[in-house]
Amino acid sequence: MSRAPFLVLVFALLCGALPARAAETAALERGTAITDPAALRELGGGKFRLDRMLLPERSADIPLANSALFSLPSMMPVQQAIDGEFDRYIARHGASLPKETIGVGEGFDFQLFDRTLLYSAETRFVLAGIVNRMDRIYAAEASCGEIRLIYRLTRMNKAAGDQASPPRLPMTLNVVLKARGAGEAITCSEIAARWLAAPLGGTDLIRHENIDRIETNLQIAHAPKSSVRDFRTDYLLKVFRYDRNARLFTEAPMENQVDRARLLADDGLKREFRAWLLDPANLVAFDRGTVLIPEKFLASGAIAPTPVGFDPSNLEPEFGLVQGEGAVFSEADVVAALRRATEGGAKLQNIRSLAGFERRLNDVTCSGCHQTRGIGGFHFPGVDWMADKPSNSTVVPGSPHFFGDQIRRRDILASLRDGKPPDYSRGFASRPQLRGSTELAGSNHYDGWGAHCYAQGKPAASNDASFRDWTCAEGLTCQAAGKISRIGMCFVKSR
């Protein structure tokens, strides 16, 4: 295989450049997401306009531009934290890449996002989607899980005579709300029923008082292919928790985003984390995808590179934790912990090997998940309802990973509605669980063309137990990315 097709295949494997068609996904998002452009246009121009969510007492019809939005006292810490991340990113790459330049504009090797646009009078955040995450009740039981309002950064002002659509910029901002606010009498079952019953679900239950945090994903820099490296795009991920007493969004640890550098620099913390995660009870939750790692082990920001594998300081948490010098986990640690768990009666669903442990360690993190079948670094870019002629990248609102997880989320909603105990477990991000449904069978999510798979070897005993069930439908074969991995994609058999 020549280098160019190999790189295209690797990018497809890592980023999942195979979004599902809208007609195939309409049923998948029933009750779990609102992606209809007309509905989003109406809701985004009304009660869910971002400035009205953050400043509910504001009654003006004209939405706040970002220059005013980031001047709000509640949002000033967000701007300060993002600026600090930019400064650290520039300093780090300036020191590690002495032969390459970094700055705003096409004349630089590393082309920074122009952050003046983020705080500009010409830009604002436009509602791109609403996502029901009641499947996360395990993380917020009293709140019945979460509801997310996802906004896309958009340049609003056009030059005179400019007929082009307002350009979207590579950043999303998620306002994460509690599905049930403090003191509300409604049950989780009733909330789930509302979402499943109507096209706009339970949007009437969304209110600013229930805001829990803001999550941001910004394409901080892009490096085109050059004589010294292949193309690369870096995404900055941050979380800001709302302090209701101070009325401020403050920088917060990111869920399950292990602070790799800090662990590897502190032997005591490293030993404590290893013991915590390998404890049988925590290992079972880790296997099920419902683990909540204590905040003392976590980072407050992350850079997710696409494709992965360029900068060792930016790689997923598995690198340097399960392999390499000073690794937190040895193979013997993991194998012994898996054996203890199974001997104790645990039925592990996903992790049956060191490789499965590595993948899950990456899979539960913010940065690792964003590197799995994303669309240009995002799992939910949303349809651009402001565009006159939407491009292919904005016709489909979500990534294959997003749509592949909808059946699991919908089944949880149905269980809640019907008073049955929900199963909150999930498979690996790149290979969803069927959970008794056949809707995904033969699709690019599961077994069909473009689905993630595992190249089976002979003898059968050589196949990794964590992935040997990742097969392809009849007529397709699993093609791995060269010799670097047996994880690949299902394609038509070559003659």
**Cα(78)–Cα(88) distance, rounded to whole angstroms?**
16
The pair phi, psi for residue 106, each rounded to 5°, is -70, -15
The H-assigned helical ranges of 97-143 are 115-118
**Residue 30, number of CB atoms within 10 A of its CB:** 14
Helix (H, G, I), strand (E, B) or coil at 366: helix
Taking 90 as the threshold, does the pLDDT of residue 337 lie above it?
yes
DSSP 65-92: PHHHHTTSTTTHHHHHHHHHHHHHHHHH
291 pLDDT band (50/70/90 cuts)? very high
User: Which pLDDT score is estimated for 158?
Assistant: 59
Query: What per-residue confidence (pLDDT) applies to 10?
Result: 42
Q: Is the pLDDT of residue 370 over 50?
A: yes
Q: What is the pLDDT of residue 276?
A: 97
Residues 117-165: tens digit of each pLDDT: 999 999 999 999 999 999 999 999 999 999 999 999 999 875 545 555 5
Asked if residue 309 has pLDDT above 60, the reply is: no
445 confidence band (pLDDT: 50, 70, 90): confident
Residues contacting residue 125 through CB under 8 Å, at least 6 positions apart: 50, 66, 69, 151, 152, 153, 154, 173
Residue 217 · residue 82 · CB < 8 Å: no
- pLDDT, tens only, 77-100: 999 999 999 999 998 877 666 677
How far apart are the C-alpha atoms of 458 and 240, rounded to whole Å?
49
Mode of pairing for the β-strands spanning 146-155 and 476-480: unpaired
Whether 124 and 65 have beta carbons less than 8 Å apart is answered as yes
Query: Can you tell me the distance from the alpha carbon of 288 to that of 283, in angstroms, rounded to the nearest whole number?
Result: 9
Q: Compute φ and ψ for 215, nearest 5 degrees.
A: -120, 135
More confident residue, 2 or 376: 376
Sequence spans of domains, the chain: 26-249+377-390
The strand order across the sheet containing 487-492 reads 452-454, 487-492, 476-480
Packed helices 188-197 and 406-417: angle between N→C axes, nearest 10 degrees: 120
**Residue 177: in which H helix or E strand, if any?**
strand 168-178
| CB neighbourhood size of 65 (10 A) | 18
User: Which amino acid, 86?
Assistant: F
Q: Does the structure show a pLDDT above 50 at 6?
A: no
∠ CA 478-367-434, rounded to 5°: 45
Report residue 7's pLDDT band, with 50, 70 and 90 as the boundaries: very low
Query: Tokens in use for 35?
Result: 């992606």
Q: What does the angle CA 353 – CA 357 – CA 360 come to, to the nearest 5 degrees?
A: 135
Name which of 240, 280, 279, 305 is nearest 110 in CA terms.
Answer: 305
Residue 118 tokens, joined: 């983020």
